[in-house]
Amino acid sequence: MLRREFLAVRNTLTADDVRESALALAGHALELPELAHAHTVAAYVSVGTEPGTLALLDALRARGARVLLPALLPDNDLDWGAYAGEGSLARVQHGGRMALFEPTGARLGPDAVTEADVVLLPGLAADARGMRLGRGGGSYDRVLARLEHAGARPALVVLLYDTEVVARVPAEPHDRPVHAVVTPSGVRRFDHP
């Protein structure tokens, strides 16, 4: 129910709203020290009215960062490929679900994400504890579990709209808090042990 409410608000956004928000979001994200010093960033390509990521992806590449993008596997896990510009993306329809933009180059395997210094996570909301509400497919739960199992400790950053930072979202025992939320109006950091 909560997911539907956030998606309903996103569906009221115009293309101009999404474009303007994407530029502001990229500006704030690029000020993060974690991204300024990152050699490898695992990210994603936004679709529809999600907070836009292409400007950020291109800026990260221009800085010399290696950007990894996910490719959805049949079991909802994620494989990864390198981003080489907007022309290196293909629109992939996954059954009756939404179409995603995925890298067309070589697949690097699900464990490639463990090389990332920063992981940019999609989400629908985050709360004052830094807990993230995803779409419910479990793909990023697997990514976070893989990072933990590998002993990898990248900075976890979720990209949202301002109205999606709320007092509390439901959390499961396996959920991990993010280190920062970036919105079009700024950055909110969370301290975790």
Domain that holds residue 125: 2-189
How many domains is the chain built from? 1
For tokens 């808090």, name the residue: 177
Q: What is the 3-state secondary structure (H, E, C) of the chain?
A: CHHHHHHHHHCCCCHHHHHHHHHHHHHHHHCCHHHHCCCEEECCCCCCCCCCCHHHHHHHHHCCCEEEEEEECCCCCEEEEECCCHHHEEEEECCCCCEEEEECCCCCCHHHHHHCCEEEECCCEEECCCCEECCCCCHHHHHHHHHHHHCCCCEEEEECCHHHEECCCCCCCCCCCCCEEEECCEEEECCCC
Would you state the pLDDT for residue 193?
Answer: 52
Give mean pLDDT, residues 85-105. Answer: 89
Stated pTM of the model: 0.94
Which comes out higher in pLDDT, residue 12 or 98?
12
Would you state the pLDDT for residue 135?
Answer: 82
Would you state the pLDDT for residue 176?
Answer: 87
Give mean pLDDT, residues 101-107. Answer: 95
Listed residue (69, 65, 79) closest to 46, CA to CA: 69
Task: Determine if residue 136 is labeled as part of a ligand binding site.
Answer: yes
Give mean pLDDT, residues 18-28. Answer: 95
Give mean pLDDT, residues 173-178. Answer: 86
Asked if residue 127 lies in contact with residue 166, where contact means CB atoms within 8 angstroms, the answer is yes
Q: What CATH code is carried by the domain that includes residue 148?
A: 3.40.50.10420
Task: Determine if residue 134 is labeled as part of a ligand binding site.
Answer: yes
pLDDT, tens only, 113-169: 999 999 999 999 999 999 999 887 889 999 999 999 999 999 999 999 999 999 999
Task: Determine if residue 135 is labeled as part of a ligand binding site.
Answer: yes
Task: Determine if residue 5 is labeled as part of a ligand binding site.
Answer: no
Task: Determine if residue 96 is labeled as part of a ligand binding site.
Answer: no
Would you state the pLDDT for residue 137?
Answer: 82
Q: For the chain, what is the mean pLDDT?
A: 93
Task: Determine if residue 153 is labeled as part of a ligand binding site.
Answer: no
The rounded percent of the chain whose pLDDT value lies above 90 is 82
Residue 95: pLDDT band with limits 50, 70, 90: confident
Give mean pLDDT, residues 51-69. Answer: 96
* pLDDT at position 192 over 70: no
Task: Determine if residue 130 is labeled as part of a ligand binding site.
Answer: no
